[in-house]
Amino acid sequence: AHQALSSWEEQEKLHWLVTQNVDGLHAKAGSRRMTELHGCTHRVVCLSCEAWLPRQHLQEHFEALNPTWAAEAQGVAPDGDVFLPEEQVRHFCVPSCSKCGGVLKPDVTFFGDNVSKEKVDLVYRRLEESDAVLVAGSSLQVCMRIYPSDAR
């Protein structure tokens, strides 16, 4: 499906793609005219200066700051977690933003976060330029269970 949408873009049958997926597969398939509404796990962003870098670069920083970390892991749990000795956890170094020293996080919208106004406005502009909308794999609904009065 990702490649089909990319092909439609190349043939100018697709004006703009809006995805809620954070896996980067649309970009990998070749889509360029798109908005990743909830961001992408392949990037990290600084919470202070908003600089971003590829997630792979962050991984390289993790490995440089914690060279024995992977070798000392004591097995992988069924859910993908890794068992680490308490001593290793206490001494784990987390990279900070190379531009300002701020905290880095995956460039995704977490539950309870808001999509930026700029991104929403861009999507509305692209929608106004379109003569049709194709929705695939979405109910176009948001579950609003974030309020204590709605929790069960």
Element (H, E) at 127: helix 117-129
Say if CB 57 and CB 46 are below 8 A apart: no
* Residue 93 marked ligand-binding: no
| Cα distance between residue 103 and residue 97, in whole Å | 6
Catalytic residue among 2, 26, 38, 57: 38
* Residue 49 marked ligand-binding: yes
| Cα distance between residue 53 and residue 104, in whole Å | 9
* Residue 100 marked ligand-binding: yes
DSSP for 37-96 reads: TTEEEEEEEETTT--EEEHHHHHHHHHHH-TTHHHH---B-TTS-B---HHHHHT-----
* Residue 143 marked ligand-binding: no
**Catalytic residue check, 38:** yes
Amino acid at 58: L
- Enumerate the active-site residues: 38
Residues comprising the binding site? 46, 49, 97, 100
Residues comprising the binding site for Zn(2+)? 46, 49, 97, 100
